[in-house]
């Protein structure tokens, strides 16, 4: 076993494995559930040599000869990227929420249609044409670190699934991604939170062609539901495990409420595009990926405000504009 294998037992027969994320300096936490010489895995990291080697090394170390199930919380590359290397015929069964399934092909396999949709979305939201061109193509890089797999089980939410010797309930928590799921074990009070509740970061909640239509409200409702489960241990996909979900949910909720108020101020009776709002809110950013995330995040807040009747949203084929009511 390599000395740098970051494997920790977090509950009986449940092991957290921290995997590197190529191109970023972060880590993603995946979880191995052992049962004799078999194991189940929650999330699988990106499709990179280092990351896959760590998974295989961890399986060896735990005496697991066969990977039985791969459950993914959502299809972002750091959670789903290696799916095609681990699941499929003769390998593990892939379990995934059914709202994630239709996102996979356009995002990672045949990108042309999604790139065109994203370009239109960027243009109608006020992004200048030259930047829209670059931003819409930034998606392409991600398909390099993802190998897709056909799902064996499509989840709706509320299913009981066996992971190792644990029985967990699937908690559908849309917002960060349409079919994001958490897993909850009531006996042990364990919540595997994916990217839904993170201890230090506020996960990106964005309105874009592949999001739900009102992702911020979806997300906030999901936070309340997860807090109401009163888990004793929260095991996030990024950062360290934590215990006090109530105060974390309060902090995340007030962060978004404050941001909504801030956006109402910024609109100040002037009609603006989402891009203008994002620039006024965050200033100019150089990193392409951050620019797109800022726009998506601003739009998710604007959409929630429009649903709440605090701002108006006007659309034509050429533009989407927001105004304070
Ligand atoms: Zn994510
Ligand atoms: Zn993530």
In the chain, the largest separation of any two C-alpha atoms, in whole Å, equals 64
E-assigned strands of 145-268?
Answer: 153-155, 160-163, 166-172, 181-185, 190-194, 233-236
Distance 315 CA to ligand 2 centre (A): 32
Please identify which residue in the block is written with the tokens 């791969």. Answer: 70
Give pLDDT tens digits for 151-182: 999 999 999 999 999 999 999 999 999 999 99
Give the mean pLDDT of 8-34.
93
Query: How much distance in Å is there from the Cα of 204 to the middle of ligand 2?
Result: 10
In this structure, which ligand is nearest to the CA of 74?
A: 1
Pairing between strand 93-97 and 66-71?
Answer: parallel
pLDDT band at 122 (very low <50, low <70, confident <90, very high): very high
| Separation of CA 210 and ligand 1 centre (Å) | 13
- The rounded Å distance from CA 187 to ligand 1 centre is 27
pLDDT category at 1 given cuts 50, 70, 90 is very low
Question: Residue 216: is its pLDDT beyond 80?
Answer: yes
CA of 74 to the centre of ligand 1 (A): 7
Q: How far is the CA of 321 from the centre of ligand 2 (A)?
A: 31
| Region of poorest pLDDT, from 86-100, 235-249, 289-303 | 289-303
Residue 285's pLDDT band (boundaries 50, 70, 90)?
confident
SS3 for 149-166 is CCCCEEECCCCEEEECCE
Cβ < 5 A residues, ion ligand 1? 76, 195
Q: Residue 177 CA: which ligand is closest?
A: 1
State what percent of residues in the chain have pLDDT above 70.
99
Confidence of residue 22 (pLDDT cuts 50, 70, 90): confident
**What's the predicted TM-score (pTM) here?**
0.96
CB 294 within 8 A of CB 281: yes
pLDDT of 39 > 70? The answer is yes
Query: How far, in Å, is the centroid of ligand 2 from the Cα of 202?
Result: 11
The mean pLDDT value for 108-120 works out to: 95
Q: How far apart are CA 131 and CA 155, in angstroms?
A: 38
For Cα atoms 174, 237, 22, give the angle at the middle one, nearest 5 degrees. 110
Task: Return the structure tokens found at 152.
Answer: 């064996």
Question: What is the chain's percent helix, strand, coil content, to nearest 5?
Answer: 40, 25, 35
Q: Which ligand is nearest to the CA of 178?
A: 1
Q: Which ligand is nearest to the CA of 29?
A: 2
**Cα 294 to middle of ligand 1, angstroms:** 15
Looking at the CA of 79, name the nearest ligand: 2
Q: Which residues are found with C-beta within 5 Å of the ion, ligand 2?
A: 78, 195
Distance CA(117)–CA(33), nearest Å, equals: 39
Closest C-alpha to 80, from 46, 110, 53: 46
Using the Cα atoms of residue 188, residue 177, residue 55 and residue 25 in order, give the sign of their dihedral: negative
Q: Which one of the ligands is nearest to 45 CA? A: 2
CA of 323 to the centre of ligand 2 (A): 33
CA–centroid distance, 77 to ligand 1, in Å, is 8
In the reported structure, the alpha carbon of residue 138 is separated from the centroid of ligand 2 by a whole-number distance in angstroms of 18
**79 CA to centre of ligand 1 in angstroms:** 7
Task: Point out the least confidently predicted range of 10-19, 62-71, 266-275.
Answer: 266-275
Mean pLDDT of the chain: 95
CB distance 30 to 42 below 8 Å: yes
């Amino acid at each position: 076993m390599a000395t740098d294998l970051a494997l920790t037992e977090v509950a009986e027969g449940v092991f957290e494995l921290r995997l590197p994320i190529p191109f970023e300096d972060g880590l993603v936490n995946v979880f191995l559930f052992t049962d004799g010489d078999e194991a189940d895995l929650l999330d699988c990291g990106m499709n990179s040599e280092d990351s896959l080697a760590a998974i295989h090394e961890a399986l060896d170390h735990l005496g697991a000869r066969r990977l039985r199930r791969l459950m993914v919380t959502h299809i972002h590359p750091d959670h789903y990227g290696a799916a095609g290397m681990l699941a499929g015929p003769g390998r593990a069964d892939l379990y995934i929420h059914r709202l994630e399934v239709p996102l996979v092909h356009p995002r990672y396999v045949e990108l042309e249609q999604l790139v065109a949709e994203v370009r239109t979305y960027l243009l109608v939201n006020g992004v200048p044409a030259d930047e829209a061109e670059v931003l819409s193509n930034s998606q392409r890089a991600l398909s390099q670190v993802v190998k897709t797999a056909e799902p064996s089980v499509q989840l709706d939410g509320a299913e009981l699934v066996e992971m190792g010797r644990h029985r967990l309930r699937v908690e559908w928590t849309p917002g960060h991604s349409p079919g994001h799921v958490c897993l909850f074990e009531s006996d042990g009070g364990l919540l595997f939170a994916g990217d839904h509740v993170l201890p230090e970061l506020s996960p990106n909640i964005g309105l874009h062609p592949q999001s739900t239509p009102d992702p911020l409200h979806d997300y906030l409702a999901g936070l309340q539901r997860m807090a109401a489960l009163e888990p004793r241990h929260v095991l996030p996909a990024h950062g360290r495990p934590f215990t006090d979900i109530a105060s974390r949910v309060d902090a995340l909720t007030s962060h978004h409420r404050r941001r909504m108020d801030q956006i109402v101020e910024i609109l100040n009776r002037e009609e603006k595009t989402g891009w203008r709002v994002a620039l006024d809110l965050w200033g100019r950013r150089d990193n392409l990926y951050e620019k797109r995330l800022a726009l998506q995040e601003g739009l998710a807040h604007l959409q929630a405000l429009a649903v709440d009747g605090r701002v108006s949203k006007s659309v034509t084929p050429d533009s989407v504009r927001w105004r304070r009511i």
